[in-house]
A and B are shown apart, each in its own frame.
Chain A
Amino acid sequence: MINLAGIAAQFTELMLAILLAPLLTGWVNQCRAWLQNRSAPSLLQPYRNLNKLFQKEVVLAHGASPLFRIAPYLIFGSLALAAAIVPTLDIDLPLNAAADAIALVGLLALARLFVSLAGMDIGTAFGSLGARREMMVGFLAEPALLMVLFTASLISGSTSLSTIVHTLAHKEFVIYPSMAFAGVAFTMVSLAENARIPVDNPATHLELTMIHEAMVLEYSGRHLAMIEWSASLKLFVYSCMGLALFFPFGIAESGDWLGIILALPALLVKLAAGGAALALIEMLSAKMRIFRTPEFLGSAFLFAVLAMLVHVLLET
């Protein structure tokens, strides 16, 4: 079942995700700057930021426990594994036998648990405020994401990501109404989970509204670099998940090298389009009050449940 080409493809995909993730963040920032009529930072700016942070020393608060220090690596590790699970270049990945769609959601939840716990560790007002808000976003967004994946699972009769993507990639002329609802839900969930407008704003440190930034306020130096890199990875994972579920075209089948090489430009084009769309959504919407977030995410959840209902009613 496990072949050498598959493992090589898996490894390529993992390294590609880790290395490309900051680039995607840079691209989204660039698009946003263009749309706002600003002169854009370089595409490589996130890498420079990471390098700078890695070189700086870590300033650790007095009350920091060991949990605070290992959390950035744990978060990075789980998100990197999540990036490896999602099929980006090749469908037939050996890791898909080890972790399916539910495990993917579990990994994302694991990362969220540790980032929240780390936020509470120092015991400042901001840290626990951020942790509380993050968990609020999480407890509504996570089931919505699971429902989106379940809709796809019901269509393909499997929770294995490779089977899901395989099924969806081979029925391109069939339009699933359920996937339309799921797509809306998925977009809303991704915005919330990646701390984007309208739920959170990655570019602000205004205490009334911030979620993610409040949690990681105490991090500095290499720890902060790992956290930032993880945030980029998370955006990458969500983008790839969206592409794999809703636009799975051009992805390679069963580990042939030519397919993978051809899939790479397709992936890059799709990611570029996705990043531009994200910037556009962020531009067109206003930041919500934090109290409205449950409504936003609640409707995402209902959309996702509706997607499953539509599937059961219309498509079986």
Chain B
Amino acid sequence: MHLDSLDATLGLALVWVCLGLTGLLAPASIRLVSRVLFPIGALTGLALAAVALPAIFEPALTRVLPLGLPDLPFHARLDALSGFFLLLLGAVSAGVSLFACGYFRKGEGTPPGLQGLYYHLFLASMALLLLADDAYFFMVCWESMALSSYFLVTSDHRHAEIRRAGYLYLLMAHLGAIAILLCFGALQSGSGDYSFQAMRLVAPSSGWATVAFLLALVGFGGKAGILPLHAWLPEAHPAAPSPVSALMSGVMLKTAIYGMLRVTLDLIGFPLWWWGVIALAVGLLSALFGAIYAAVQTDMKRLLAYSSIENIGLIVAGFGLTLLFRGFAMNALAALALTATLYHCLNHAFFKSLLFLATGSVLHSTSERSLGRLGGLIHRMPWVAWTALIGTVAIAGLPPLNGFVSEWLLLQAFLFSPSLPHSYLNMLVPIAAAAIALTAAMSGYVMVKFYGVVFLGQPREPKLAEAHDAGSWERLGLLWLAAACVVLGLVPATVIGMLDPITRALAGSGIASLAQGWLFLAPIEPHRASYSPILFFVLTALLVALAWLAVRAFYHGRVRRSRPWGCGFPALNARMQDTAEGFGQPVRHVFEPFFRIEQSSPTPLDARPRYREVVDDRLWHWLYLPLARGVEKLTGLITVLQRGRISVYLMYSFATLLLLLFFVR
């Protein structure tokens, strides 16, 4: 029997399921889980990436699986888009699984065997989700992804706040799932056939298509964390164990982007241009919101969670631009915008996972998440600190690493939008480009804060002196992800060649012309813009090396160690450094109306003066709490029906039956 890459992918997903189930044999055995199951899981991830990479260039494969309900078998399909996201899933999960080999310890909530089960089910359901080719299979995978990740988030379920975060996550996941379900309902256009192939063939009326698009934006956007459905992200990420946060932020959010792309550009197929405007506006708002809020966080994982909102915002903005160009049939530009979107998906998956894993190492060795109690870890944890520096430069969108490439592509796509045949839309350029530039600069601010407060300076607590570096498994995971950040930054032209089949399929135009050989990256035409990260990197390195050598050659290399200069004040200590609150102060000051700030300052007479400041999300108070109160009131009304007497319930059934009979007649 001939096995193709679709069989291989399904098989690898099955391996993950089996690995998870094996852990149940000895749920308390940390050795089985972390020395056997997670390494095999990492290998499976690598194998998945290796299978998915060639699948991008091959024609789509479809299969009807011998699974599912009697008349509703599962359909699977492996095409370029699924291949790309499978590659992302495989490559990122390999690094995260390697890290997880050394991460899970005894005695932390859920036993390791169960955690291994949820973890591998989570991976398998994401892989199957990307292969799903009918709404039924898709929803099954979507739900199992949500549930397995819920159990992972609440793995430390002894804390009430973690249970609360998990509940919020589950709630938002299900609200999103309902929207997605309804979206598929709108797409099947009354045919009752829920396979994606049927949806591709039938073109819904533009009204139904719009309904489907909006539902998809809400449903998938809720999972991705776009405004105003972002509330679960900053709660769930800090609650989850770090490898899980890394997977959720790095990969799971991308499955939502996959869903958006799949529904809009593949299943509907003809986006209307103003959908693009909606997605663009929502994306830019989320990006700015995420960046501004990340700058004032004091918990390192919350900071990264807000930064995820920012990055997802940029991705959704790129998606919106793709729709806008596609709506006006400007396919080459749509391809450029789609390339930027997909590239940023890939980049964010790597650098955000890397940073979440780095926070995991910090958390493990210091048991501190609050930025106010960390500092100086570059001395105690050099491996973590230097790999995190790569992630920091990458996420700040600085050349020559990968974050810059996708931001560059996105800005190029924006600069070409004056050719849009709509005068008001042309005004979008300055505003959207300004928002993106502001976001990029803000993310630099956020990352300096993150890195500087955690890794640089003096340790703010005495116990940090005992912090230990990450173990060898963890180092391997961190190195893998950091190396990917560097490689994706240096050879964008090669990576973009990989995206060509996807843009051909979804945007109707290839981007082969974008890559001028392997050295130069040039959208549309080389004289309009080009960028060569390798030359850039080599030249910077050369100049740095020459400067160093010249100084050594002409002068000397003498160094004397001494105490830092305290401006004449002798009693400098670590608590006099800037705290995370202090570092966020300028942003709080500039964007004051955006925040809900509670402050309490000490009086001059306090014996133990404490300064407290809580910065809160305004949307939480404007949107979520009123909504929750409203729902509570409504459910309160339902108690009127509940009398607790069986005769009353029987009467309800009788009345319902009568009513139904009336209608059926």
Contact = CB atoms under 8 A, between A and B. Distances in A.
Interface of A: 54-55, 57-63, 65, 67, 70, 73-74, 76-78, 80-81, 84, 95, 97-100, 102-103, 106-107, 109-110, 112-113, 116-117, 120-129, 131-133, 135-136, 138-140, 142-143, 146-147, 150, 153-154, 157-160, 163, 207, 217-218, 221-222, 225-226, 291, 294, 298, 301, 304-305, 308-309, 312-313, 316
Interface residues on B, range: 35 or more
B334 to A, nearest CB: 19
10 contacts: A55-B556, A61-B562, A65-B378, A77-B547, A106-B397, A132-B582, A132-B586, A139-B444, A154-B415, A207-B567
Given A77-B543, A128-B577, A309-B430, A142 B448 contact: no
B321 to A, nearest CB: 15
A54 B182 CA distance: 70
Nearest to B443: A139
B555 to A, nearest CB: 5
Interface in B31-50: none
A135 B561 CA distance: 28
A124 B457 CA distance: 7
B503 to A, nearest CB: 21
Contacts of A138: 441, 444-445
Contacts of A218: 564-565
Contact of B583 (A124, A132, A147, A226): A132
A147 B378 CA distance: 36
A124 B576 contact: yes
A153 B398 CA distance: 20
A60 B559 contact: yes
Given A103-B531, A154-B415, A139 B442 contact: yes
Nearest to A51: B555
Contacts of B83: none
A159 B412 contact: yes
Interface stretch (B74-82, B170-178, B257-265, B432-440): B432-440
A120 B574 CA distance: 12
A81 B407 CA distance: 20
B323 interface: no
A278 to B, nearest CB: 24
B525 to A, nearest CB: 9
Contacts of A221: 558
Contact of A163 (B528, B535, B572): B528
A240 B529 CA distance: 20
Nearest to B460: A123
B429 A98 contact: no
Interface of B: 375-376, 378-379, 389, 393, 396-399, 404, 407-408, 411-412, 415, 418, 426-427, 429-431, 433-434, 437-438, 440-442, 444-445, 447-449, 451-453, 456-458, 520, 526-532, 535-536, 539-541, 543-544, 547-548, 551, 554-556, 558-567, 572, 574, 576-578, 582-583, 585-587, 589-590
A160 B378 contact: no
Contacts of A84: 539
Given A128-B457, A135-B448, A139-B441, A226 B434 contact: no
Given A120-B456, A122-B564, A305-B434, A65 B379 contact: yes
Contacts of A313: 427
Contacts of B585: 132
A121 B574 CA distance: 12
B530 to A, nearest CB: 5
Contact of A294 (B431, B529, B560, B589): B589
Contact of A124 (B441, B442, B444, B566): B566
B422 to A, nearest CB: 12
Given A97-B530, A138-B444, A154-B415, A61 B536 contact: no
B501 to A, nearest CB: 27
A182 B415 CA distance: 17
B142 to A, nearest CB: 37
B431 A305 contact: yes
A74 B544 contact: yes
Contact of B398 (A97, A109, A301): A109
Contacts of A124: 564-566, 572, 576-577
Nearest to A1: B526
